């Protein structure tokens, strides 16, 4: 399956995520690093995205109050990877994975940890036939982006691409 890294300006990040989710088929896993599940869900619903076909991994909230979402600290990269694997194994048929703001992981983890996480998620997605789309704002994390470009089949939003 195909993996894609989309680098976009912060002001266009949300609209790009929405348009991408509208175009994806199957059941998806949404790893949210920059907004809590309730905020993401409201934005998606307002923009015509069927949230019933999404499993959420919320790395922003810490209340643990919601039953329909997995909440994991962004410092726990291996737990995020395990949760993604568990969802992937549960979903039958066509599936996709969206991570909404990779560079946010740099606030909580060092560059090499994040690069290793991305490499592992990309490899696992490919092995399990999962379409993987990761988004990253242009504003920060350029060194990280340089380390992870080659893990993806396609990179959009880079000069000349």
DSSP string, 11-48: HHHHHHHHHHHHH--SEEEEEESSS-HHHHHHHHHHTT
Class of domain 3-156: alpha beta
Going from N- to C-terminal start, the domains of the chain cover: 3-156
Number of CB atoms found within 10 A of residue 117's CB: 19
Q: pLDDT, tens digit, for every residue of 86-129?
A: 999 999 999 999 999 998 999 999 999 999 999 999 999 999 99
**Residue 155 to residue 58: CA distance in whole angstroms:** 25
Q: Percentage helix, strand, coil, to 5, in the chain?
A: 45, 20, 30
Q: What is the pLDDT along the chain (161 residues), one digit of tens a residue?
A: 699 999 999 899 999 999 999 999 999 999 999 899 999 999 999 999 999 999 999 999 866 556 678 999 999 999 999 999 999 999 999 999 999 999 899 999 999 999 999 999 999 999 999 999 999 987 666 788 888 999 999 999 854 44
Q: What is the mean pLDDT of the chain?
A: 90
Which 8-state DSSP code applies to residue 60?
S
59 CB-near residues (< 8 Å, 6+ apart): 31, 32, 33, 71, 72, 73, 74, 80, 104
């Amino acid at each position: 399956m195909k993996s894609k890294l989309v680098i976009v300006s912060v002001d266009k990040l949300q609209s790009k995520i929405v348009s991408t989710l509208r175009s994806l088929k199957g059941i998806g896993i949404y790893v949210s690093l920059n907004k809590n599940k309730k905020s993401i869900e409201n934005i998606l619903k307002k923009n015509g995205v069927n949230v019933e076909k999404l499993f959420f991994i919320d790395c922003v909230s810490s209340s643990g109050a919601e039953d329909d979402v997995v909440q994991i600290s962004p410092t726990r990269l291996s737990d995020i990877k395990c949760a993604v694997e568990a969802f992937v194994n549960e979903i039958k048929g066509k599936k996709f994975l969206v991570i909404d703001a990779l560079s946010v992981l740099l606030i909580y983890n060092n560059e090499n940890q994040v690069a290793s996480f991305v490499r592992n998620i990309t490899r696992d997605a490919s092995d399990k036939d999962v379409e993987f789309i990761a988004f990253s704002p242009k504003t920060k994390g350029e060194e990280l982006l340089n380390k992870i470009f080659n893990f993806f089949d396609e990179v959009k939003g880079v000069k000349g691409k």
